[in-house]
Amino acid sequence: MTEKNECPHCGTLKHTPRSPELKADVTRRINRAVGQLNGIRAMVEEDRYCGDVLTQLAAVESAVKAISREVIRDHLETCVVERIQAGDTEVTDEVMDLFRKFM
């Protein structure tokens, strides 16, 4: 039995080429979220007002969800389409598992 990130046919790790645009966009968004988290850490260390900290946490959570949506969209448009075209309809189980994680 193969791991989820392994090819079911040969057992090698799956490789997902991503467009330079997607990589740049996701990297930029992640860096921004990391910056926000560092700011929140400073707010906590400075004993800033709880409501302000929570507002910033909500903003980071929203940013991370937006990153997830972009990666899921790319996954559906590339990996999932390719696997279905190759006759691998079991990919729908993976997609449903991913949707459950984000809903």
Q: What is the pLDDT of residue 39?
A: 98
Q: What is the pLDDT of residue 5?
A: 59
Please give the structure tokens belonging to residue 8: 């079911």
What's the rounded Cα separation, in Å, for the pair 39 and 6? 38
- Give the residue-averaged pLDDT of 20-32: 96
What's the rounded Cα separation, in Å, for the pair 19 and 80? 16
| 54-63: pLDDT as tens digits | 999 999 999 9
Task: Please state whether the predicted TM-score (pTM) of the whole model is above 0.75.
Answer: yes
- Tell me which amino acid residue 7 is: C
Q: What is the pLDDT of residue 12?
A: 52
| 83-93: pLDDT as tens digits | 999 999 999 99
